[in-house]
Structure formats: structure tokens, C-alpha cells
Amino acid sequence: MKLYKIQILFLLTLLVLNSCSSDQKNDELAKDKSTIVVDTTYDSWMSIQYKNIKLSYPPNHPLETGMADFAQIFKTVLRRNAQFFQMDEPTDSILILYYTGFGQGQDLANSEFPTSRGDTIFYWSGNRVGVPATMYLLNKWTTTEEPKTKFLYHGLMRLLDATGRDYHSMSYHFIDSGKFIDLKDLMADSRTAYNWEAYQSAEAASFIDYFVFKYGINNFKLLYESQLPFDSSAAVICKMNLNALQSDWLKVIGEVVKQNSLKK
């Protein structure tokens, strides 16, 4: 009989505790709902759709009349850069937020330069459209955020920036001007940054294009993702030391520069 009373008391205690727990969860849910912040920053922005690309921009944007053309240009650049990586053209929905300029871009995107995060492109005029397009593709091509050898990342940004610049010719003429940076120095140069300098990243662009031409995109991916020092990885893939690799690179681009000069 005493056991029965104890069981009843135990059950009643459980019911009270469950009730309190349920009330506490409901209070927490209500609190969570009350503290949810809805981002309305872009609610008033205008939008156009071009295939899988949605382009949004603030009202009265100074380049508003050219937005449809820009969406098509971005789509073309994205397709061309995907071909470099031997990837299929992306069909996922892409959102481009086109800011009025550096100030608004820095304020809302928290970035000094256009960038890509997930399926969203943050862009403002006066910048190379190929850069955020390449960032977007890199996120799908590799899980490596930035390679151990810095110049490989910044060289890609230069090579695929869609400016039409001839980085082979630039690099080759650096030799005559005394500005050429040897590969052994380039691989260790911490100043390489496509947004700030015009030498290291230009040479890196030329080298990457040569490397992919000579050894293929899959071997470049091995080089890009390798955690070994650059010279060690290159020696394994290319079967030559750094000096021989540099000599071959300059020989190949020298031929390219010569052929291009004959076409003019």
C-alpha cells in the first residue's frame, strides 16, 4: 500500500516537471521569435532575371540602364572561366548584388573588393568582373580555401579577370626591364595580391596558364591543393627542378609572344 502511494506521488511529480519544462520551452520559443531580426536591406532594390542569374541593384543606380547587359556579360565570363577549370557551366541560381560603388559595397558587403559567398556575388563597378566569377567557381572546384602557395590563388584571379590583358607578354617583358621575379622568389613572396600589385600576380597568371597548357588542369589541381612546399610538389608533378621549370615556362611564353607579334 505504501508502495502504491509512493508511485502515485512519483507520477504526479513527473507530470508537474513535464508541465514546467513545456512552459519553459514555449517561453524560449516565444523569446526566440521576438528576437529574430529580418534583413530588409535589399527589399527596395530593383531586380532583373537573366537565365539562372538574378541581378539586384538599388533604385536610381547610376548604371541602371546597363544592368541587363551586365547580367549577360557575367554569364558569358562565368561560362568561359568554367571551361578553364573543365567544369560544366553552373546552372544553380546566382544572386548578384550590384552596389553603387566602393562605399556602399564596403558598408553592406563588409569587403574592400567584389567577392563571392556561396551563391551570392557582391559587385560594384570599376572592378574586374572575372574575379568574383572565378571566386564562385573555385568554391565548386576545390575545398581548399587558399593554397599553401599564395601566388597560385592570386594568379588565378589575374588570369581569369576578363580584362583581356596579355600576361605572357607582360611577364616576358619584365625580363628586359629588370622587374622579372624568379619562380623561387615568387613562390615565397607574401606581397602577392591581385588587387594591389601588378607584377607578382601578372607573372603568376602567366605561369598558371603555361602549367595548365603543359600539364593539364587535373595536375594543376594537385599543385593547388598540395600541402607540400611548392618546389617539392612541382618536382613530383613536372619531373624537373624549379630552375628547369622556370626555363621551360619562359621558353614557351617566349614562343607565344613571338607568334602574337607576327600576327600584328
Do 154 and 192 form a contact (C-beta atoms < 8 A)? yes
What are 83-134's pLDDT values in tens digits?
A: 999 999 999 999 999 999 999 999 998 899 999 999 999 999 989 999 999 9
Q: Is 137 helix (H, G, I), strand (E, B) or coil?
A: helix
Q: Is 43 helix (H, G, I), strand (E, B) or coil?
A: coil
Averaged confidence pLDDT in the chain: 87
pLDDT for the residue numbered 264? 67
- Residue reference for cell 519544462: 21
What is the band of 196 on the pLDDT scale with cuts at 50, 70, 90?
A: confident
Q: Cα separation of 98 and 110, whole Å? A: 14
Least Cα distance to 134 among 84, 94, 93 occurs for 84
Q: Global pTM? A: 0.83
**DSSP labels, 6-19:** HHHHHHHHHHHHHH
